[in-house]
Amino acid sequence: MMRRKGIVVLLTFCVAIMVFAVGATAQETIKIAIKGKTGQILHYEVEMGGTLSFDLKSLPLPNSNMTGENLMAEISADAYFDTIDATEDYTSYEMRLMMKKLVLGGLLQLPDSGMSGKTPTVDMDITPQGAIENIQVSDMAMPGGDMLKGMLPGMDDMGLDLTSMDTIMPMITGLLPPMFPTGPVAIGDKWAQKISKEDMPMPIFPVLEFRYKLESIEDGVAKIKFRTKGDYDAGFLNNFLAMLPEIPMGEDQMSIDKVDLVVNWDISGIMHFVIADGLIMDMKTEGVVDIKGGGSLTFTHPDGSTEPWNPALTANLKLNTNMNYLGEVDRAAFEELFPPMLPEGEEGTGNNSATETVKDIK
């Protein structure tokens, strides 16, 4: 009898220890937040690849057709984030981008894109939750922008320069919600982020919702999975378009009678985040985007005659991206790559080689 009681007491004690251990583990939480250090320069390598298939009817111009099947798309660049200021509310970066490769089948390559030999600058603020704010772009043209400008000459009159990345980038980043929650999370926790309609750059854009899960923590590095899946139907825009005045297109006037556009996407990925240093160590994504659209437009010529334009398109984009942190670069090496602006009349001695100082990630 005493032996049986002893076993019961021992089992009760072991269960109590297990419950306490599990409870303590369940309560262990971390704060995931971007942390900048003024003067720090971070070096990332960014690679994007995939295939593009499309069928354009009466595009890019009336009475023209264009098709492509599994065109290889490839972009490779080095991105240097120079930390200008770091506070509890945001980190200000001046990002310098060095393009290494830009290929879209036989349609577009780096030497023809307007990017060769240029080092675009992107100024941005990033919140601790990873939201991009106050972005400004310089020395970066929209690849293929000259062709786009020829297709849409009336956009300048509307105040939209779609050939400039200074116009395009704020629209793109304005669609991206913060990545990280404001409060602490534990292993297994899930959270979702999306931009409210009130904060959208323009109400015509789709609302992207990203879902995240903290998979694990190992050696101070958080493994986070994420996914965005959704669809967008632009049919609701037709009521708005009906109120627009005619758009000048050279000597003609263009009216938009109807637009059909449906976009479906499914993109997932994994990132590793260094908790103590507050930086993304690497990020990988893969997914697919399907687009189907068309429209009905009318050109009115100077003599009063009209000409219809009924473009249509289908496109499928399969993509994958990789971003890897390569280390911290010292100021002297950075200024060899990107010499600071000198007073007019003075010459610099910058070159395109530099030695990195890679610091251990804690």
**pTM listed for this prediction:** 0.76
CB-CB neighbours of 67 under 10 Å:
10
**Residue 188, pLDDT score:** 96
Mean pLDDT of 56-82: 89
Tell me which of 104-108, 134-138, 159-163 is least confident: 159-163
Coil vs helix vs strand at 18: helix
Domain count, the chain: 1
* Consecutive H or E run containing 150: helix 145-151
pLDDT, one tens digit per residue, over 144-201 is 445 444 444 444 544 555 555 556 666 677 678 899 999 999 999 999 998 766 666 5
- Does any domain span residue 68? yes
For residues 130 and 126, give the distance between their C-alpha atoms in angstroms, rounded to a whole number: 6
**Residue 229, pLDDT score:** 94
Mean pLDDT of 17-34: 64
Residue 328 structural domain: 37-337
- Does any domain span residue 362? no
Q: Which residues pair with 228 in a beta bridge?
A: 267
- Does any domain span residue 293? yes
User: Which CATH number belongs to the domain containing residue 330 in this structure?
Assistant: 2.30.230
Highest mean pLDDT among 106-110, 147-151, 165-169, 264-268 belongs to 264-268
- Does any domain span residue 105? yes
